[in-house]
Amino acid sequence: MSGDMNRDAETVGEKGARRRGRGGGRAGNARRQAGGVIEQMPWHLPQNTDRPTEPLGEEGVLAIHDGAMRVLEEIGIEFLNKEALDLFRAAGCRVDGTNVRMGRDWVMEMVRKAPDSFTITPRNPARRITIGGRNILFGNVSSPPNYWDIEHGKLPGTRKQCADLLKLTQYFNCIHFAGGYPVEPVDIHASVRHLDVLHDKLVLTDKVVHAYSLGPERVEDVMEMVRLAGGLSHEEFETTPRMYTNINSTSPLKHDVPMIDGCLRLIRRGQAVIVTPFTLAGAMAPVTMAGAVTQSIAEALSAIALFQWVRPGCPCVIGTFTSNVDMKSGAPAFGTPEYMRATQMTGQMARFYGLPLRASGSSAANVPDGQAIWETSNALWSAVQSGTNIVYHAAGWLEGGLIASPAKFVMDCEIIQQIQRYFDPALTATGPEDIAVEAIAEVGSEGHFFGTPHTQDRYSTAFYQPILSDWRNYEAWALDGGRWTAERAHALWKRIVADFEPPALEAGIADELADFVARRKSEGGAPTDF
Amino acid sequence: MSGDMNRDAETVGEKGARRRGRGGGRAGNARRQAGGVIEQMPWHLPQNTDRPTEPLGEEGVLAIHDGAMRVLEEIGIEFLNKEALDLFRAAGCRVDGTNVRMGRDWVMEMVRKAPDSFTITPRNPARRITIGGRNILFGNVSSPPNYWDIEHGKLPGTRKQCADLLKLTQYFNCIHFAGGYPVEPVDIHASVRHLDVLHDKLVLTDKVVHAYSLGPERVEDVMEMVRLAGGLSHEEFETTPRMYTNINSTSPLKHDVPMIDGCLRLIRRGQAVIVTPFTLAGAMAPVTMAGAVTQSIAEALSAIALFQWVRPGCPCVIGTFTSNVDMKSGAPAFGTPEYMRATQMTGQMARFYGLPLRASGSSAANVPDGQAIWETSNALWSAVQSGTNIVYHAAGWLEGGLIASPAKFVMDCEIIQQIQRYFDPALTATGPEDIAVEAIAEVGSEGHFFGTPHTQDRYSTAFYQPILSDWRNYEAWALDGGRWTAERAHALWKRIVADFEPPALEAGIADELADFVARRKSEGGAPTDF
């Protein structure tokens, strides 16, 4: 298996290198293949072959839909962005101050214009991703203000840590896109942080990237840097999605100024948006999971309808981040049974509306221990069960999103690889050679299957090969140091980062990016009054 | 939630106490409720409301069925038990030495006689369990020769450790039955081990128990002890299942002498049997998962058909323990993607045959760390996805079944409780009060939901309350010692065991059990030449 996988992974690297016409990346790839830190699965876009888990009957879907439409018609959503209010007014919606009420016929007419699938092409076209259909794609943790590792404990984020996490994002083939900053580098002033991090991101990765919608200057800067990194003309940039933004509503029932502004800027230039309400049941949303989902749907559709009015057919994803709080403390909880069901219900609603779905990996645990894994595993598998198309925060998240952890990143990649392997049709193939009556006859009741031709022909690809799990017996494991998973993961991420070589990037493009960053810094960057 | 749950849990305890007419258990229950170590979910038999995950189409199911039938018709199964050979001969099967070939018509005619659901009633009738339908029930880890805890490391099993694990088995409402010995007490001589452990099990728990099929004396002793513990006449014992055995085939394609003997003894007295081939793909079964499942089905059905010939309608469960080996080392792996798919495929086959299904919780990890949890979580959720009716080894298993761990037991119970909560229909209810448009209107865009009547009416039961997960922020967690999950679980099991009081048992019955054990010990116990 590993041999084939390395070849496939190399192909992606080689394509990038050939296209860019620079040897460094290719040589780097060759070295990595030879001495590779781990044997990982190849880059590919996994197809979710399972029928989704659907806890709602048809009447349940219609009840949530009707509830969401009543929220939009009777209660309305606050839009603080003046341009949005003008647009809603022009569309015939009822605007009272910042409150916007919209009829269900108009909302559904707009939502139907959104595509159910679309493609984003980053600077390396071999890393193109299609969001929708049966694809399930995974991205790195985004936006924690803090960092944790087993040597240093919890620390505020820095540019160095952010770069290390970007290297992991690039290294792992099972990570398909680079979400927001994997940790907030608070050692960079907020006015220029987006310039330095996007520079690092576009140099250290060749995967799809994201812009925070935190004011027009940041959004415009990131679009320009993505255009430069791709070596694209303005027209080429706008022809097809090259990047995306993800916004949250300010639940309950509010969209703020910069988030909507950023989305409008992106869609007008043909880029993609994800709208993800953060509806914690019992806090910013009803304590009932169906109620929290209803509110989330209303908040998301209000923005998506606006974007379809402005640019019919623009690529939009509906996001879910419905979870519950701990009713004793008010602390947010993640990966709970309620979270899983809310994700599944939202999946049913996304299919009802014909929109691609975003969900998340998440956990409230403070360290990468057992709790971290049962919560993250519940979250990631509920993404599978819900038919989710892109999974945000899929690797590296701790403490409810307040901590990014590189060891947790590697542990999560083991889970994600298992999910991807789970979808390999070979596992459930039932052709005559799979049923293997002849091999069973050959071995009979006295032998074993290790040495049979049927086994020998298949053993190298038959089973998932872990990158971190230790399957040795206790004694062998103990003799080798008796390290627990989090310790092994710590050693592994450090080796990956130490061995890392960035993907190919033309020297001329690298210079353009550096020049752009320098110029914008000299102009003062972006305002910090957001 | 916890208040209601404690009341429910108390009801089970009280019923037992009233029926047994002895105060100790009731007083113990009252104390436990008051100072209870944890607030756990009540005893109940969870219903799996999800549609199973079915990777096979109809033709895939038929291909595995045809393969299994060809194995039975063309290759045959070795039965070392002479009585079984005579029975097969009488049934018209083709017996050559120890090889038995059987036609598919006869096999299917026999298998159709097995019930798709049945009940086992232990000494406390409030702990009755129904195996089949949509029920999904969980049991403790069974049979590891070793024990591990964070203070002592890995040690050979003892009676004391076995008793501690039996106390956890009784304590946790989410554990529905007591499987085999939760750890092998090697400090008790094998000739009398079954007497001491069954005594402990029947005194420390009032849940359904199991007999190992390790020779006629042990099986008969355990049946007699279960009869005495229930205060039953011989006739009452035989009227309905009171206990069960679980056997493994000796894969590939063989059933040994004592396993079949034990099953025949049990079914002739109306008790239940589970037949679980242990087919490690690439070692004792084909390297292809469909091939390993095919062989497993053939091995299981051959025994079940025999039992239905002997006692038509006797309660039988088909078990799955199909996993894969690490092809680098030959070590068994558990909770892998291949394991999950094999379990799901076997679920489809069990429904095809109309038989209840047994699966397992399992992991190859040596300590209760991240790997242990992703493997166990994969195994337990694949039991859910496959429509499994009883889940063996659901709590406490490490090192591929070579270690029993009380901390892991508690961690697994957190996962099992979450699975049970996941099936609560309240989570996906969509009535008007669940959709909660009025509550959304009341809070509007400026407030929060904590204080609303809609929340206040529901907050105490709205969300899963963990027993072990720590949802505090990092700083609060760190100030309180910064303990990882396995450390918290270690502290918790020790408190539970320290606080444990056994369930009510009539003094007369306790004496009868003790007398029986003493008498059988004086007679020398059971032979140890198995």
Quote the pLDDT of residue B173: 98
In Å, what is the CA distance from A471 to each residue of A12, A37, B334, B335? Answer: 31, 18, 9, 12
Q: How many CA atoms lie within 13 A of A9 on its CB side?
A: 27
H or E segment at A21?
none
Contacts of A470 in chain B (CB under 8 A): 365-366, 371
Structure tokens at B46: 């969870």
d(CA A387, CA A51): 8
Let me know: does A78 contact A253? Beta carbons within 8 Å.
Answer: yes
A367 with B484: Cβ contact below 8 A:
yes
* pLDDT tens, residue by residue, A381-404: 999 999 999 999 999 999 999 999
d(CA B509, CA B515): 10
Q: pLDDT above 90 covers what percent of chain B?
A: 91
A422 with B477: Cβ contact below 8 A:
no
Closest CA to B32 of B173, B160, B186, B149: B173
Quote the pLDDT of residue A26: 37
Let me know: does A490 contact A405? Beta carbons within 8 Å.
Answer: no
In Å, what is the CA distance from B190 to each residue of B140, B217, B528? Answer: 22, 12, 6
Contacts of B394 in chain A (CB under 8 A): none
Contacts of A415 (CB under 8 A, 6+ apart): A373, A376, A377, A380, B374
d(CA B296, CA B330): 19
Quote the pLDDT of residue A36: 72
* pLDDT tens, residue by residue, A325-362: 998 888 899 999 999 999 999 999 999 999 999 999 99
Specify the higher pLDDT residue, A455 or B6.
A455
In Å, what is the CA distance from B242 to each residue of A93, A340, A511, B121, B393? Answer: 68, 37, 79, 5, 20
B329 with A471: Cβ contact below 8 A:
yes
Quote the pLDDT of residue A295: 98
A285 with B449: Cβ contact below 8 A:
yes
Distance of CA A521 to the CA centre of its chain: 29
Instruction: Examine the pLDDT at A481 and tell me if it is beyond 70.
Output: yes
Q: Which of B22-26, B145-149, B358-362 has the lowest mean pLDDT?
A: B22-26
A281 to chain B, closest Cα gap in Å: 8
Instruction: Examine the pLDDT at B42 and tell me if it is beyond 90.
Output: yes
Contacts of A435 in chain B (CB under 8 A): 63-64, 66-67, 288, 290-291, 294
Nearest-by-Cβ selection for A470 from B99, B371, B448: B371
Q: Which residue of B has its CA nearest to A338?
A: B427
Quote the pLDDT of residue A528: 85
Amino acid at A18: R
Q: pLDDT above 90 covers what percent of chain A?
A: 91
Nearest-by-Cβ selection for A336 from B434, B464, B473: B464
Contacts of A508 (CB under 8 A, 6+ apart): none
B516 to chain A, closest Cα gap in Å: 39
Banded model confidence at residue A29, pLDDT cuts 50, 70, 90: very low
Nearest-by-Cβ selection for B345 from A377, A428, A484: A428
Let me know: does A301 contact A346? Beta carbons within 8 Å.
Answer: no
Contacts of B436 in chain A (CB under 8 A): 67, 286, 288, 290-291, 294
Q: Which residue of B has its CA nearest to A468?
A: B371
Q: Is A259 left (phi over 0), alpha (psi -120 to 50) or beta?
A: alpha
* pLDDT tens, residue by residue, B97-156: 999 999 999 999 999 999 999 999 999 999 999 999 999 999 999 999 999 999 999 999
Which residue's entry shows tokens 């919560």? Answer: A375
In Å, what is the CA distance from B337 to each residue of A34, A42, A73, B305? Answer: 27, 17, 46, 31
Contacts of B341 in chain A (CB under 8 A): 422, 427-428
Give burial (CB, 10 Å; 0-12/13-18/19+) of B34: exposed
A402 with B428: Cβ contact below 8 A:
no
Contacts of A221 (CB under 8 A, 6+ apart): A194, A195, A198, A516, A520, A526
Contacts of B428 in chain A (CB under 8 A): 55-56, 60, 289-290, 341, 344-345
Banded model confidence at residue B329, pLDDT cuts 50, 70, 90: confident
DSSP structure string for B39-85: --PPP---B--SPPP----HHHHHHHHHHHHHIIIII-EEE--HHHH
Structural domains present in chain A: 110-422 (3.20.20.480)
Contacts of A252 in chain B (CB under 8 A): 440, 443-445, 447-449
Contacts of B338 in chain A (CB under 8 A): 427, 462-464
Amino acid at A334: F
A365 with B443: Cβ contact below 8 A:
no
Long-range contacts of B99-102 (CB under 8 A, 24+ apart): B99/A445, B100/B76, B100/B302, B101/B72, B101/B73, B101/B74, B101/B75, B101/B76, B102/B72, B102/B73, B102/B76, B102/B302, B102/B305
Closest CA to B350 of B381, B310, B322: B322
Instruction: Examine the pLDDT at A25 and tell me if it is beyond 60.
Output: no
DSSP B482: -
Nearest-by-Cβ selection for B53 from A50, A399, A482: A50
Q: Is B246 left (phi over 0), alpha (psi -120 to 50) or beta?
A: beta
d(CA B430, CA A348): 13
B407 to chain A, closest Cα gap in Å: 11
3-state secondary structure A60-118: HHHHHHHHHHHHHHHHCEEECCHHHHHHHHHCCCEEECCEEECCHHHHHHHHCCCCCEE
Structure tokens at A109: 């007419």
State chain A's mean pLDDT as an integer. 93
Q: pLDDT above 70 covers what percent of chain B?
A: 93
A470 with B365: Cβ contact below 8 A:
yes
Nearest-by-Cβ selection for A435 from B64, B77, B454: B64
SS3 of chain A: helix, strand, coil, percent, to 5? 50, 15, 35
Work out whether the CA dihedral A174, A180, A186, A192 comes out positive or negative.
positive
Which residue, among A328, A402, A437, would best test binding to B if mutated, counting the most B CBs under 10 Å from its CB? A437
Contacts of A369 in chain B (CB under 8 A): 369-370, 484-486
SS3 B403: strand
Which residue, among A251, A288, A363, would best test binding to B if mutated, counting the most B CBs under 10 Å from its CB? A288
Quote the pLDDT of residue B530: 53
Contacts of B239 (CB under 8 A, 6+ apart): B270
A458 with B337: Cβ contact below 8 A:
no
Which residue, among B374, B446, B459, would best test binding to A if mutated, counting the most A CBs under 10 Å from its CB? B374
B471 with A333: Cβ contact below 8 A:
yes
Quote the pLDDT of residue A530: 53
Burial pattern A341-352, b for ≥16 Cβ within 10 A else e, equals: bbbbbbbbbbbb
Contacts of B494 (CB under 8 A, 6+ apart): none
* pLDDT tens, residue by residue, B460-513: 999 999 999 999 999 999 999 999 999 999 999 999 999 999 999 999 999 999
Contacts of A52 in chain B (CB under 8 A): none
Size of interface A-B (CB pairs under 8 A): 397
A433 to chain B, closest Cα gap in Å: 8
DSSP alpha helix (H) spans, B257-336: 257-268, 289-310
SS3 A276: coil
Contacts of A459 in chain B (CB under 8 A): 282, 287, 327
Predicted TM-score (pTM) above 0.90:
yes
* pLDDT tens, residue by residue, B61-82: 999 999 999 999 999 999 999 9
Banded model confidence at residue B34, pLDDT cuts 50, 70, 90: very low
Average pLDDT over residues A500-526: 97
DSSP A255: E
Contacts of B59 in chain A (CB under 8 A): 430
Instruction: Examine the pLDDT at A136 and tell me if it is beyond 50.
Output: yes
A437 with B70: Cβ contact below 8 A:
yes
Contacts of A454 in chain B (CB under 8 A): 286-288, 291
Phi, psi of A449 (to 5 degrees): -95, -5
Which residue's entry shows tokens 């198995």? Answer: B530
Specify the higher pLDDT residue, B327 or A515.
A515
Quote the pLDDT of residue A18: 35
Nearest-by-Cβ selection for A428 from B55, B402, B429: B55
d(CA A193, CA A201): 12
Give burial (CB, 10 Å; 0-12/13-18/19+) of A512: middle
Instruction: Examine the pLDDT at A229 and tell me if it is beyond 50.
Output: yes
3-state secondary structure B433-473: HHHCHHHHHHHCCCCCCCCCHHHHCCHHHHCCCCCCCCCCC
Work out whether the CA dihedral A497, A498, A499, A503 comes out positive or negative.
positive
Phi, psi of A250 (to 5 degrees): -95, 85
